[in-house]
Structure 1
Amino acid sequence: MKEDYQVSIEETIEKFDTDQKVGLTQEIVDKRLEENGRNEIQEGKKTSPWKLLWNNINDLIVYLLLAAAVISFLMDDLAETIAILLALLLAVLTGFFTELQAQKSVESLQSMIYTTTTVIRDGKTQTIDAGSVVPGDVLLLREGDAIAADGRIISSNNFACIESALTGESEAVEKSPDDISEEEVPLGDQQNMVFSGTAVTRGYAYVVVTETGMETEVGKISGMLDEASDEKTPLDIELDKLSKAIIVAAFIAGVAVLVAGLITDKPFVEMIHIAIILAVAAIPEAMPAVETITLSKGMNTMAQRKALVKSLPAVETLGATSVIASDKTGTLTENQMMASELVLGEKTHYEVTGEGYDPHGSVKKDGEEIVPENNQDLMQFIQSGVLCNTAHIDQNEDGQYEVVGDPTDGALVTLGKKVGLDREDLENEAFEKIAEVPFSSENKYMIVVYEKEDQRQLIIKGAFDVILDLADQTQETKDNLQQQNEMFAEKGQRVIAIASIENYDGGLTEEEMKNSLDGLKIQGLVGIIDPPRPDAYESVESAQNAGIKVKMITGDHPKTASIIAKDIGIADHERIMTGKEIDEQVDNENFAELVDETAVFARVSPENKMQIVSALKKESEVVSMTGDGVNDAPALNDANIGVAMGIRGTEVAKEASDMILTDDRFGTIVDSVKEGRIIFDNIKKYVSFLFACNMVEIVAIFASVVFLLPMPIAPLHILFLNLIIDIAPAMSLSF
């Protein structure tokens, strides 16, 4: 059976019994909505309050205390029974309310994935609730639209989408309705398809919906999240061992007491009472309360530092983390294209500072900040990039800067704002756009003609190789420009060439402009990257100094991944494992070892990410996986602790994670791991303290039986010591 991308336009229309101009009738829509359900991603199973309460009760030490309470009750010792139950209630309710509050905080971050979309139904263009989209609907997608379902493109014009949330690639992907005959084409290369959860950056297209809801690529990934099972944290494992040791010790002590009692002819009931005293003495009643309070404090501390932890055990797991496996796009990098370097003319080189689409930044030459306004040629060059453009930058409610349009165009608009140039202001003041050839995947360039004071200027912007061929310049100049292009490419930058014709006197139709490029001169080149986050290098170094391995896992190109990895200190060599290599070697005996030794993984699928996490866990690593995209969700769910980005993170990624970074900083995860280690060390300290205190009580009680001395302490006294006297110094050790 053919995949949707392999099916021709005609076959697609026939398969879904639809029509490009008329769309579906409302009658068919209602029928398909009933058959397929609403176009929604099913929410993951929410943990009910009762489940949260049970999670805090289901503990061996709690069971031991319950057993002691039951025996005390059966022996008519109501005071002891109440004291033990109060100790239990303190620990259980503290943990319950802390986790319940964390769950509510997470829910407050969640938002609806779908809003509205434009469809053609009954021959009319309508805006509808995206949840009511059905297979066969014809969508009209325009620049800036969020795509609500998977679909086959049937016609388009200059159409491109940003698919970073699904594939990990930060650059826009050119789309067209052209047929694809190849088999097993990766999502990122299915250029005749659009996918739910992505967005349109340029142009428009008509699309026949092929999949909705849980059958979309996003839905399939979301469905994978149910496959992972809950795992005990390292602390849970250690405390379980400790609890079992307590049971064995209490049993041995009890048997020894009974034997000693029989030898000394003491009453059986008295021996049972002494056994209860030993059991109560052996159990560190304060430990559940201290552990819960310690982890709760850690959770609150992390929340203040922009790390929202969903559950108490996750706090401790952070402390045991030995590997941070991080997505690249949006986690280690900004997921915002930025002009980082310029070449004016043939060789004059400039650096650009700033972060993503934030308009604050500067231009430097030879490391020294300059005043661009004093350089007319530089300002003219940047102005050309601003005018030959259709994107614009907006600031959302959270103060974050976002691009509407193509990300590469957004980088040029931001560059203009850094030197005080704005397209709208330029057009209002002096420049009138009188002609345009939109960017297309066939041409790989955009042309505009502006008129100012009766003089016309043609500006062309596009792929370096294409513009170089069109330029009317000497071979020596072209060779110099080629060297600059290669220099940018070696740094993993996307190179955009900007050229112009001053005093343009050619025609204004598309064909006339294409054929009137004599005298075209390249003004300069722009190197554009998705830059590393400002604190990425420092955070990676900090993690490595703490003995934590940092690995980059991305769906992006190997070369791009390698360059970013070197820039932020993850790897200093060329060794990269691709998704294809993972598929080929996943069944090999040494696969887990190979993964553990590799720092950079590129062109990986969601399944590959899960395979990487699984392999690392086989090597006894405690894995923290960070990410923000839909493609990260399965691995986030499968890792010992999944960490999602709170600002740019998708809903699916947030739901799959154990912790959400509300500031999207990679450095926050490193800080959280360090906080988790402090908590883990503190837990070990107070556990040692509590057991030392309890051991003194056990020895005193056992000695009184062996040497026929009066019982030095009653169960209620032990509870008082363990809960009131011991808890204060134990708490001091936990902070």
Structure 2
Amino acid sequence: MDKSRLTTDALAKLPTDQFYQQLQTSQHGLSSQQAAALLTKVGPNTIQQTKSRSQLKAFLKNFTSLMALLLWVSGFIAMFTGMIELGIAIWAVNLINGCFSFWQEHAAQKATDSLKEMLPTYTHVIRDGATTQINATDLVPGDVFTIQAGNSISADARIMQATALQVDESALTGESLAVDKRAAYAKGDGKFAESNVVYAGTVAVNGTATAVALQTGMQTEFGQIATLTQHQKNTVSPLTAELDRLTRQISLIAILIGVIFFIAAIFFVHYPVAKSFVFALGMIVAFIPEGLLPTVTLSLAQGVTRMSKKHALVKELSSVETLGETTVICSDKTGTLTQNQMTINHVWLPDQIYKVSGQGYVNNGQLLYQQQPVDLTTAPDLALLLRVAALDNDTEIQPGKTPQAKPKIMGTPTEAAHLILAQKSGLDLKQLADRYPRVQELPFDSDRKRMTTIHTQPAGQPVIYVKGALDGILAISDTILEHGQRRPLTDADIQRINAANQHYAGEGLRSMAIATRAFDGQAGLPSDPADCTIENTEQHLTFVGLTVMADPPRPEIYDAVAKCHRANIRIIMVTGDSPLTAKSVATKIGITSDQARVITGDELAAMSATDLQAAVKGEVIFARVAPEQKYRIVQANQHNGEIVASTGDGVNDAPALKQADIGIAMGVTGTDVAKDAADMILTDDNFASIVAAIEEGRTVYSNLQKFLLYILNSNVPEAVPSVLFLFSRGLIPLPLTVMQILTVDLGTDMLPALGLGAEKSEPGVMDQPPRARNAHLLNKAIIWKAFGWYGLIASILSTVAYFFVNWLHGWPNVALAGSGDTYIMATTMTLAAIVFCQIAAAINCRTKVNSVFSVGLFSNHHVWWGIIFEVGLLAALMYIPVLQGLFNTTAIMGRDWLLLLSIPIPLVLIEEGRKAIVRQLNH
């Protein structure tokens, strides 16, 4: 039989001799020759990328967008028709914008790239009958290797021998509790649940084992999920799609206008065809916002910078804006909504219940201790429970390398929680271990679900400490400790203990029982602790109490969830944890009400796409889901028209991260596969950072509309001079040249527009629902404001400036000049009037409805530096001889500057009046 045709489950079930035969190995491992041959056949034990990123392709994509292509064509036409300077200017802008976009995205990508370090560097294997250390990349199917606590597991493998082995599979399953593993096969509940199989990328947290590799590299479950992620197509971000649409709209308008003016120039003005074409090109240039792409790119880059300061690293610039559109967040529980850290929050004793706080124990609302340890001599039952929790324990907590670093847990999170519980009470763990030295241990196993240790007390008498699952410990207990005294355990006691346990379970908490036994040599107990066995020791126990624990929610999660609700953003929990725990956590932190529907992975597998799409419209929680099911949930929401953000940190989250409109990975606890699949990485693993990022995304979109309004409003005064020229049949010479139009689009407009991109959030940005999916950047309100309000006023003023200069030189008694000093002065004043109208527009565009004075007239320094720059650039064009000849400008006098400086003030006041009326009408 071909072993490749056997599933992992089938291999796990085979009798030992058939299993070794199937993999052509033995308990003594492979020979070096066999391993070398297999390595050549199956390849190295690494996670490979199916497609390597092409830097050339990434670079070139920045020059092939619709707007970029349009600018390439415009520049070529300009040079072809003799306007070399214009063509070079357009191409230069395209090159600068493309290079900047590539640099920004490359820098973000470089910050997130990392080696695939989830697999360990070395593995101890048995080769040629002897144990040897090899690089984990050289591990092959059939290799026999050893596992110890703290080891990352290098391959999918079947366990042949195990002692108290527990494995953290949260990277695959999302389950926060360590899983017991043993050599005997049992199917278990859900995927990855075979009792005698361990998986690559998981971590052994307790015990030891010997295992045989079943699959390595890309054939492991870890590798299969990575492959699934890599094969998914990258979706086009909503902003990219919207910019493409906007480009098509503007391009079509510009080209149609160009065609109309080309025909009109021939038939109305009787221009030659070549001259008419140049004239039409000027109109196209006037209506195409050449500065749109640079300003969008730079605005998004500013958003990336601001978000990085809020612990959100964005890999793709367009993802910034996508966040602002998010309507649904599909969030993992463990490590995302919770801290991925088991914490004991209650201690239940028969005569007392303690609530554990971050500082100590709270009894009836009174803090038993704050700065000083509690006096355990006044609470002997609690003192005994704490002693058992600390000593009946194989885990070690190593301090971080720095005071700020988190301590490292060498063992299981559950046992670590018990050590921390003892530390919170003020116990010195080392002194305690010295006073009560361990002399014997009966290790934990998944059949008994308990662990027993025997210690020597200060008086010299041994004592037995036991902790484990409640049902098993109650079954072997016959006494109970209450008020410091042991008495017989009654049925009423058992009912009371079980009721407490069920109450905590209903709240999504997990209980562990604590018990002891005096070493009295009675009831079959040997006199020598070395002779203790499970059979003669674990009986006639005294029940002490329960420790109650949970993986607590992040402290900041409550406010973050509340903000999402106010912003009409739904959160759907998608976890590998149990339904009871998932619902408890979701209800506690306010994601859903207790009426929410809980769908398990098995139920999801049986659901049709239509049923799933209907289910995700309501309050729903997904629990016990398999990796391949996560992105089905994302897809279902997307089919419903939602814009979906998916969060996660494990390998199991990667397909959903890739499928989502925006994938958000955890930077600290996240796996490399998850980070590679995500669009954004949270450097602090803080769910609240997602909300801050969403707020930033909404602000970025609002700012995009602000500078779109700002850029487009200058199109009207740029186009009106050509309209005057056309409809006067040439009697009114062109008040504005093509190079002067380009000066406004690419020069004076640029920095104020970027300043608008840095505008802070307006009040209430997170109290509004996400905009509709069919909403567009360029909407009727912006078109009306740009063309019918700002643009119209600027057109009137710039036209007045043109005729004012001619009036000073004898018009209308003297015909309008088409060349000479008067004409140059007139075009210069027309350009200057447009620039000063844009100064007013930059100030007015800072707010949509609120008064600019309410946000601070000078609060946005970027806008004011942009205004200073555009005035300086205008002055340079007027007074530097080389630029005068290139842009058809000349120096103006002091009275002309006074006229120009008087333009912005009334425009700002008029707009403030309009906004006040709008606010009043909306009130």
TM range (shorter): over 0.9
Q: Deviations over 1:173-213 (max 9, x none)?
A: 1112223579xx73232111110000112222211111000
Q: Which residue of 1 aligns with 2:261?
A: 257
Taking the TM superposition and a 5 Å limit, the aligned residue runs for 1:28-427 are 28-43=34-49, 45-107=51-113, 111=117, 113-180=119-186, 186-264=190-268, 265-344=270-349, 346-354=350-358, 361-371=359-369, 373-376=374-377, 377=380, 378-397=382-401, 399-427=405-433
Q: Which amino acid is the alignment partner of residue 234 of structure 2?
A: D
Secondary structure, aligned partner of 2:340? coil
The answer to whether the Cα contact below 8 Å between 2:185 and 2:195 also exists between their aligned partners in 1 is no
Which segment drifts farther, 198-207 or 517-526?
A: 517-526
Change in 2 beyond 3 A, CA 1:317/1:518:
closer
Which segment drifts farther, 9-18 or 289-298?
A: 9-18
Secondary structure, aligned partner of 2:691? helix
Q: Deviations over 1:54-99 (max 9, x none)?
A: 2221211111111111011112222112221222223212211111
Partners in 2 of 1:443 and 1:382 — Cα distance? Answer: 22
Q: Which residue of 1 aligns with 2:738?
A: 715
Secondary structure, aligned partner of 2:336? helix
Change in 2 beyond 3 A, CA 1:582/1:723:
same
The answer to whether the Cα contact below 8 Å between 1:413 and 1:422 also exists between their aligned partners in 2 is no
The answer to whether the Cα contact below 8 Å between 1:64 and 1:283 also exists between their aligned partners in 2 is no
1:662 aligns with 2:683: yes
Of 540, 552, 567, the match for 1:546: 567
Partners in 2 of 1:100 and 1:409 — Cα distance? Answer: 44
Q: Which residue of 1 aligns with 2:7?
A: 3
Partners in 2 of 1:196 and 1:495 — Cα distance? Answer: 30
Secondary structure, aligned partner of 1:585? coil
Q: Which amino acid is the alignment partner of residue 562 of structure 2?
A: E
Q: Which amino acid is the alignment partner of residue 512 of structure 2?
A: I
Q: Which amino acid is the alignment partner of residue 669 of structure 1?
A: I
Partners in 2 of 1:519 and 1:12 — Cα distance? Answer: 42
Instruction: Note the C-alpha offset of 1:728.
Output: 2.9
Of 576, 579, 594, the match for 2:601: 579
Which segment drifts farther, 609-618 or 477-486?
A: 477-486
Partners in 2 of 1:191 and 1:510 — Cα distance? Answer: 30
The answer to whether the Cα contact below 8 Å between 1:373 and 1:379 also exists between their aligned partners in 2 is no
Q: TM-score, normalising length from structure 1?
A: 0.95
Of 500, 504, 517, the match for 2:516: 500
The answer to whether the Cα contact below 8 Å between 1:394 and 1:404 also exists between their aligned partners in 2 is yes
Q: Which amino acid is the alignment partner of residue 379 of structure 1?
A: A
Which segment drifts farther, 322-331 or 210-219?
A: 322-331
Q: Deviations over 1:8-45 (max 9, x none)?
A: 1322211111111x211101111000001000000363
Which segment drifts farther, 320-329 or 171-180?
A: 171-180
Mark the runs of 5 or more structure 1 residues left unpaired by the alignment: 355-360
Change in 2 beyond 3 A, CA 1:294/1:510:
farther
Change in 2 beyond 3 A, CA 1:367/1:695:
farther
Partners in 1 of 2:577 and 2:513 — Cα distance? Answer: 23
Secondary structure, aligned partner of 2:113? helix
Secondary structure, aligned partner of 2:478? coil
Q: Which amino acid is the alignment partner of residue 609 of structure 1?
A: K
The answer to whether the Cα contact below 8 Å between 1:6 and 1:180 also exists between their aligned partners in 2 is no
Instruction: Note the C-alpha offset of 1:6.
Output: 2.6
Q: Which amino acid is the alignment partner of residue 61 of structure 1?
A: M
Instruction: Note the C-alpha offset of 1:379.
Output: 2.5
Partners in 2 of 1:665 and 1:348 — Cα distance? Answer: 36
Partners in 2 of 1:56 and 1:550 — Cα distance? Answer: 34
Of 711, 715, 718, the match for 1:697: 718
Instruction: Note the C-alpha offset of 1:604.
Output: 0.9
Partners in 1 of 2:519 and 2:211 — Cα distance? Answer: 42
Partners in 1 of 2:57 and 2:366 — Cα distance? Answer: 60
Which segment drifts farther, 522-531 or 3-12?
A: 3-12
Partners in 2 of 1:203 and 1:152 — Cα distance? Answer: 16
Partners in 2 of 1:418 and 1:482 — Cα distance? Answer: 27
Partners in 1 of 2:49 and 2:364 — Cα distance? Answer: 53
The answer to whether the Cα contact below 8 Å between 1:570 and 1:599 also exists between their aligned partners in 2 is no
The answer to whether the Cα contact below 8 Å between 1:253 and 1:278 also exists between their aligned partners in 2 is yes
Q: Which amino acid is the alignment partner of residue 295 of structure 2?
A: V
The answer to whether the Cα contact below 8 Å between 1:102 and 1:310 also exists between their aligned partners in 2 is yes
Which segment drifts farther, 372-381 or 76-85?
A: 372-381
Partners in 1 of 2:317 and 2:65 — Cα distance? Answer: 14
Change in 2 beyond 3 A, CA 1:122/1:186:
same
Which segment drifts farther, 134-143 or 81-90?
A: 81-90
Q: Which has the larger radius of gyration?
A: 2
Q: Which amino acid is the alignment partner of residue 370 of structure 1?
A: L
Partners in 2 of 1:607 and 1:56 — Cα distance? Answer: 33
Of 466, 475, 478, the match for 2:494: 478
Q: Which amino acid is the alignment partner of residue 212 of structure 2?
A: V
Q: Which amino acid is the alignment partner of residue 305 of structure 2?
A: N
Q: Which residue of 2 aligns with 1:650?
A: 671
Partners in 1 of 2:123 and 2:388 — Cα distance? Answer: 35
Mark the runs of 5 or more structure 2 residues left unpaired by the alignment: 480-488, 759-923
Partners in 1 of 2:136 and 2:520 — Cα distance? Answer: 47
Q: Which residue of 2 aligns with 1:449?
A: 454
| Number of corresponding residues | 723
Q: Which residue of 2 aligns with 1:439?
A: 444
Secondary structure, aligned partner of 2:673? helix
Change in 2 beyond 3 A, CA 1:540/1:181:
closer
Partners in 2 of 1:328 and 1:538 — Cα distance? Answer: 16
Secondary structure, aligned partner of 1:597? coil
Change in 2 beyond 3 A, CA 1:99/1:191:
same
Q: Which residue of 1 aligns with 2:812?
A: none
Q: Which amino acid is the alignment partner of residue 485 of structure 1?
A: N
Of 583, 598, 614, the match for 1:562: 583
Partners in 2 of 1:109 and 1:205 — Cα distance? Answer: 28
The answer to whether the Cα contact below 8 Å between 2:444 and 2:451 also exists between their aligned partners in 1 is yes
Partners in 2 of 1:577 and 1:513 — Cα distance? Answer: 40
Higher relative contact order (CA 8 A, sep 6+): 1
Q: Which amino acid is the alignment partner of residue 671 of structure 2?
A: T
Change in 2 beyond 3 A, CA 1:518/1:194:
closer
The answer to whether the Cα contact below 8 Å between 2:114 and 2:672 also exists between their aligned partners in 1 is no
Query: Considering only aligned residues, what root-mean-square deviation do their CA atoms show, in Å?
Result: 1.9
Partners in 2 of 1:535 and 1:304 — Cα distance? Answer: 18
The answer to whether the Cα contact below 8 Å between 1:337 and 1:529 also exists between their aligned partners in 2 is yes
Q: Deviations over 1:517-547 (max 9, x none)?
A: 6653222100111111111122111111112
Partners in 2 of 1:468 and 1:410 — Cα distance? Answer: 24
The answer to whether the Cα contact below 8 Å between 1:225 and 1:656 also exists between their aligned partners in 2 is yes
Secondary structure, aligned partner of 1:570? coil
Change in 2 beyond 3 A, CA 1:113/1:297:
farther
Partners in 2 of 1:460 and 1:544 — Cα distance? Answer: 46
Change in 2 beyond 3 A, CA 1:701/1:327:
same
The answer to whether the Cα contact below 8 Å between 1:341 and 1:352 also exists between their aligned partners in 2 is yes
